[in-house]
Structure 1
Amino acid sequence: MAKATRLLFVFWLSLMWSINSWALPADIQAAKDEGMRLYNIGHSTAAMPYLRQAADAGDVDAMYYMGESERRQKMMGFTTAAMEWYLKAAEQGDPYAMLRLFQGGAYIGGECPEGSDDWREAALEITLPKTEAGDPEAMLAMYYIYANLDASRLTSVYNFLGIPTRASKWLKRAAEAGLPEAQTRWGHHIMNGRGWYFTKSRRLEAAESWFSRAAEQDYVPAMEQMEYVNREQQDFDESWKWMEQASLHGSFDYRLGLGWCYLDPSYPPDQRCVNEKDPIKGWAILYALHVELEDNNSEDIMDWNQEELTADQKKEAEALAEAEWIGRQPPLSRFPRRFGF
């Protein structure tokens, strides 16, 4: 794609971006919300009929997640159906869909076919002006764009030596601008070796400072990391507090852990359970997960602890689940990243 043609294309995308800011009709919005709820707990097949309604109505997010759902059906493979949905979202200005098109072209052909770089360049050209206006979401998108551009052996060496790459500079800018997803990912980078910290305790403290900023904005993945960091620091009371907070804000994993802790506080070797044993509450939480999500993990934990409750106690726990835990808001989620694997 010639540069002049690409610039015209990007200008057209910018116009389409503003058009797609219109609100969806209430019934279509409700369908999209249900589709995203199902997608976020890992039920992408069940999510697709709901997402399709919003995608057919012109919603760009729904188009993108239709592509992601199609890809999940084939173990993250770039199928024709997935690529068609990414193309629809990309034509409406979604930079992440453009990156998926670039990745898919490289994956299917074994190497980047002629023209596939144009999608990556289009993502760059539509996103950069938004960063200049101070948009943290665009800064995060730039991180993913440059992570694709910088995906090389040399970049791996730079990461090992602690030398900032273009991608990491954009991630830190997004984190400093207050975006909780970026703050959490930057904390992960520190945990994984970014920066010069000569002791484990200093590295944990540095990562915690970023996780804390995101957790204060009710960003659940950051709450999960606060639980982990505090447990690593041997502050088990603080770790338990974050486990409860993450569960109450919809974390599937931490809701599961909370139920298991109440049912059997001795189960993990890492001292994460500092609560008093309450088998009725624990059974209620796990039963709710099994009923609401058809979750096999919670069912297994209940099977392993059948003898902890009498038949009457199980009935009491199931009534408690119906009253307090099934359908609790906000909805449960595994909080998948928009641009993950």
Structure 2
Amino acid sequence: MRYLKSSSTLFFVLCVFFCSARAQAELSQDQLAAKTRGIELYNQYKAISAKPKLKIAADAGDPEAQYYLGEAIRTNDKYMTAEAVSSYEAAALQGDIYSMIRLAGEKNDLCVVMKNCSKTRKEPGEWGKMASDTASARAAEGSAEAMYLKYRVTGDDKWLEKSAENGYVFSQYFLGIMYRQGHGHFLLPSRRAEAIEGLMKASAEGGYPKAMLEYGAILAEKNDYQGFRYWNKKAAEAGYAVAVFGYGSYLGEEKSEFGFTYDPINSYALLSVLLELDGGGGMVDLVNFKLPELSAKMTAEQIEQSTELAKKWADTHPPLSFFPDKL
């Protein structure tokens, strides 16, 4: 029986992998562009605007778009609707572990009350087992992301640690945050601090913008202001909205505590770029508070230069993002 169960799991994983790859391969250029833009909007906390873009690729069968569509619907409606469940199910049946985890956490059996559950409906526990089995299979193949998802399913810290050790940058960042909050066992506080710094450094160097800011802050505490400036700029250049605001604000300080060169033109430009973030996150309010302070010290010509620089920045850098946790 053990052999049959193992073979069944392997067969399932191979099937969902094939279906997922096939669905993504069938996207046209327009559908792929819609998916990309939809995810960008979602990561800017614009769930309403993201939905129609994501739906184009989701209707074409793309599992990642289906997952994000479910997220956009759930976020906008503030609860798990039947439409969101349907989108998650479509993705989960193609092997999307994120969707399986979402469905496993859904305890509100609204369809039971309404007596309109689909015939193929699975219980949360079934989705949880499917998520665990699929994550285990992919982790066994060396997927560090799957190791992280195994942690999300089981809550076992060893999977998060293993994911971080295998180079998954989000796990490195997340584990560092957990250590900072007191998780893990260290004989000395200095050992904890060393572990946090090592994880943030690895994640930052691996390209994760949130870790760039965290690592920069650690360097600042050690009076390494050159390192602090470097990682703030890197995070901003990666499109991290919080870093763009911070970096832009630092450039607008006539006397910088951290050694930033006063540059009101670039400061105004960077802050102006953030005005497109008029969804959630409160970024526009922060920018509108800062810009009048800057403009009061600038000429009309300087402001015009800033406007041109803002356009150039938007054209030559990644889309702005808050980089929310995918789960």
Q: TM-score range by the shorter chain?
A: 0.7 to 0.9
1:10-59 CA-partner distances (Å, limit 9, x unpaired)? 84454032122132222211111111111111112111111111111111
Partner residue, 2:174: 185
Partner residue, 1:306: 295
Residue aligned with 2:318, SS: coil
Residue aligned with 1:105, SS: coil
Partner residue, 2:45: 42
| One-letter identity of the residue aligned with 2:219 | N
Equivalent positions of 1:45-56 (< 5 A) are 45-56=48-59
Give the whole-Å Cα distance in 1 for the aligned partners of 2:254 and 2:195: 30
Moved over 6 A (4+): 4-7
C-alpha contact (below 8 Å) 2:55/2:65 kept by paired residues = yes
Q: Tell me: CA distance 1:44–1:5, structure 2 relative to 1, closer, same or farther (3 Å).
A: farther
Give the whole-Å Cα distance in 1 for the aligned partners of 2:136 and 2:321: 31
C-alpha contact (below 8 Å) 1:201/1:233 kept by paired residues = no
| One-letter identity of the residue aligned with 1:328 | T
Give the whole-Å Cα distance in 2 for the aligned partners of 1:9 and 1:84: 23
Q: Where does structure 2 lack aligned partners over 5 or more consecutive residues?
A: 112-121
The Cα of 1:97 is off from its aligned counterpart by 1.0
Structure 1 window deviating more from structure 2 (10-19 vs 49-58): it is 10-19
1:57-97 CA-partner distances (Å, limit 9, x unpaired)? 1110011001111111133x222222221111112222221
Give the whole-Å Cα distance in 2 for the aligned partners of 1:244 and 1:258: 6
Give the whole-Å Cα distance in 2 for the aligned partners of 1:255 and 1:143: 32
What is the percent sequence identity of the aligned residues?
A: 30
Partner residue, 1:134: 142
| One-letter identity of the residue aligned with 1:326 | A
| One-letter identity of the residue aligned with 2:33 | A
RMSD: 2.6
Aligned length: 307
Q: Tell me: CA distance 1:9–1:82, structure 2 relative to 1, closer, same or farther (3 Å).
A: farther
Give the whole-Å Cα distance in 1 for the aligned partners of 2:99 and 2:308: 45
Partner residue, 1:326: 314
Alignment partner of 2:87 out of 78, 85, 88: 85
Equivalent positions of 1:1-341 (< 5 A) are 11-12=11-12, 14-22=14-22, 23=25, 24-75=27-78, 77-105=79-107, 115-147=123-155, 167-197=156-186, 200-264=189-253, 271=257, 273-290=258-275, 292-294=276-278, 296=284, 297-322=286-311, 324-339=312-327
Could you tell me the TM-score, scaled by structure 2's length?
Answer: 0.85
C-alpha contact (below 8 Å) 1:40/1:334 kept by paired residues = yes
C-alpha contact (below 8 Å) 1:197/1:203 kept by paired residues = yes
